[in-house]
Structure 1
Amino acid sequence: MDAGRQSPRQNADGGGDVVVIHELGHIATKSTEEFVFPFGRQVIRFSFPVIRKHYNSYMGQTGLTDTKNGGFYPADNVQNMDEIARTTLEDRRGRLLAKESARLLAKGQLTEQAYQNFGPLGGLAANIYSAVTETADTRSWTLLPEAYFVTRTHFAPGSHTVKSSTGGRIGKITTIQVDKGKLLLLRDS
């Protein structure tokens, strides 16, 4: 709804809408999946990022309760950040594997040159350095919530006491002022 437009409900009773944005859980973090295998005189460590599936960390109702009349207004899931992170990583999987393979080839060539130029000890040192420095990029947006839920409801004009619940956790009890034709935006995290 545009900020300047009024809905038919608002015109009928002169009330306004209340929108509550609920932030649930914490986004899944990236971890490392790795394989180590011998190849000629070298030990190759192949490492790439993964996001493992985890179950929702929230249980219970999410929404807004009008404490005066006891009405509960449930929230709708509008964005699953875990799924976005997982899908984005899977979309990049081919590029990540190509870059990883190119890096492993370059490290392998440098290790072979170390064997040729500095003997077995130099080659061993280069091999160890190559294996130890091979890690996956596990940076992620760990401050994001797992999901966003939104409650939108209509209230008559005036003062209302509401209680928000997010994932079954009772949030703040807040007194809000609803004005005619206005949209009130609240955040519950």
Structure 2
Amino acid sequence: MKRLYPALLTLTLPLILGGCAMGSLFISYPSQIAPVKQALSGPTPLAPLPELAGEINSRDGLLYAQEAGRVAQIGGDFNASQTYYQAAIAAYARFDDKALVSVSELGASAGSLVLNDNLIPYRGPGFERIMVHQYQALNYLMQNDFEGALVEVRRANDLQELEQKRYEKSKDAVKAMANGTVDAEISRLGQQAGGVTSSFLNAYSYYTTGLLHELLGEENDAFIDYRKAAQIFPGNSYLEQDLVRLAKQLSMPQYDEFKARFGEARLPKQDEGQLVVLVERGFVPEKQALTVPFTIDGNWQTISLPTYGPAYSQVLPASLTGLDKPLNAAAIANLDALAINALKEELPGLLFRQAARVYAKSELTRSVQSDSKKRRDDFDGAAVAMQIFNVITEQADRRSWLTLPRQAQIARTYTSAGQYRLSFGNTATDIEITPGQTTLVWAIDTGNNIRFYSINIKRKWN
């Protein structure tokens, strides 16, 4: 029995050092977050906040900070959301700055080889980090802090450029680690993501940045960001009209080209105000587990990779009523496609860790079997237990930011000044349109509930 102590220590040490990471070790993260999403679809969206906030100092604190920030935001507590997102931003910064590996991280790394990737501290993919800054910008905006909002959207833009450079540098390593199985899965996920080819280029983020630039009188910067958004997500008529309008206003050389492609932009009349609507619908899909059993030297092993299920139903454009005529929103970003692409980009690295883990588990099993044979045990109970342990501990890492919307849509129009009751589905909100000013409405659809938040931006157009 003494010979088993090193193996048992190897197995149990990560559990001791893992702390709160054990939550996702045997119980999938989507199962844990399901009650939170249920609350967001009901009348008490802020109810899960204490529990989420209590996990911000855990190994998965970054993920819980993102979820808490989003929950508070959907519930309309923008100040609390700002605090939670700041915790997430600080966690990302610590990941960037950390040069030395702590004892607990050594335990987590070793544990991921023996158990599963859920012991690795969560560090979100690039698109999640970008969304933190975009949502932080909206927090500032809803609290009338326009300069703070502009700082955050600029950070989001900088991160998109940084993530693109990182991805370009990693392409060769990704190709080197891929094999037939993972190539097939990458191809399937790529088809499921449609025309989206990158997880970190987000038209919704660029559009939000451009909108803020324009509302603050920085039309040249707005034109640049609108153009980037249109390149990432072509075909949005509102975005195309913005490009024509600004190209004309700024006497850009692209004006004739844009006018020929998209038509002349409608300009506001003197007694009209502008309405801009951001619509967020549903939740991003949850990761599924793809588990494959096999044998090595007669011993059972499994590998379990995260993946996404078959294609999901189409998201319909939001139809807003209550104005002089219905206003139909148009998609500006499919965040489910960004999430799928993020996983596609990560799969080769996941496969590399899986191969190392299978080898480690196989060696542990053989060591136990060898010890049993030396003791001439008739029944190799320890080896059987090891095989069972190997199978039940192989759990796919299904962690991701699950309170993000599935799709973002936009709508933009000019309308006569006055009071309006804007309706979407069975929910309505009262808004005021003021001549020469902009009313921004943010509608968040969580399934059984639609919440409206609005702000009147008093800066007049030039």
Q: Please state which band the TM-score falls in when normalised by the shorter chain.
A: 0.7 to 0.9
Offset at residue 144 of structure 1 (A): 1.9
Q: What CA RMSD, in Å, does the superposition of the two structures yield over aligned residues?
A: 2.2
Query: Which residue identity lines up with residue 108 of structure 1 in the other structure?
Result: S
Structure 1 equivalent of residue 272 of structure 2: 15
Query: Which residue identity lines up with residue 144 of structure 1 in the other structure?
Result: L
Q: With the length of structure 1 as denominator, give the TM-score of the two structures.
A: 0.84
Asked if 1:162 is matched to 2:422, the reply is yes
Asked if 1:65 is matched to 2:321, the reply is yes
Query: Which residue identity lines up with residue 145 of structure 1 in the other structure?
Result: P
Structure 2 equivalent of residue 35 of structure 1: 292
From 398, 413, 429, the equivalent of 1:153 is 413
Structure with more helix by fraction: 2
Distance 1:24 1:57, change over 3 A: farther
Extract unaligned runs of 5+ from structure 2.
Answer: 1-210, 220-244, 250-266, 374-379, 446-462
Q: With the length of structure 2 as denominator, give the TM-score of the two structures.
A: 0.37
In the aligned structure 2, how far is the partner of 1:155 from the partner of 1:118?
82
Extract unaligned runs of 5+ from structure 1.
Answer: 165-169
3-state SS in 2 of match to 1:45: strand
Asked if 1:86 is matched to 2:298, the reply is no
Aligned residues: 180
From 351, 361, 369, the equivalent of 1:107 is 361
Show CA shifts across 1:111-141 (max 9, x none): 1111112343222222211121111101222
Query: Which residue identity lines up with residue 3 of structure 1 in the other structure?
Result: L
Offset at residue 160 of structure 1 (A): 2.2
Offset at residue 88 of structure 1 (A): 0.8
Query: Which residue identity lines up with residue 51 of structure 1 in the other structure?
Result: Y
Structure 1 equivalent of residue 281 of structure 2: 24
Highest Rg: 1 or 2?
1
Structure 1 equivalent of residue 215 of structure 2: 3
In the aligned structure 1, how far is the partner of 2:281 from the partner of 2:343?
22
From 324, 330, 343, the equivalent of 1:76 is 330
Show CA shifts across 1:57-83 (max 9, x none): 644x5132234x3x1121110111111
3-state SS in 2 of match to 1:13: coil
Q: 1 or 2 for the larger relative contact order (CA 8 Å, sep ≥6)? A: 1
Asked if 1:126 is matched to 2:386, the reply is yes
Q: Does the Cα contact within 8 Å between 1:51 and 1:86 map onto a contact in 2?
A: yes
From 166, 176, 179, the equivalent of 2:431 is 176
Offset at residue 158 of structure 1 (A): 2.3
Structure 1 equivalent of residue 48 of structure 2: none
From 331, 334, 352, the equivalent of 1:98 is 352
Identity value in percent: 24
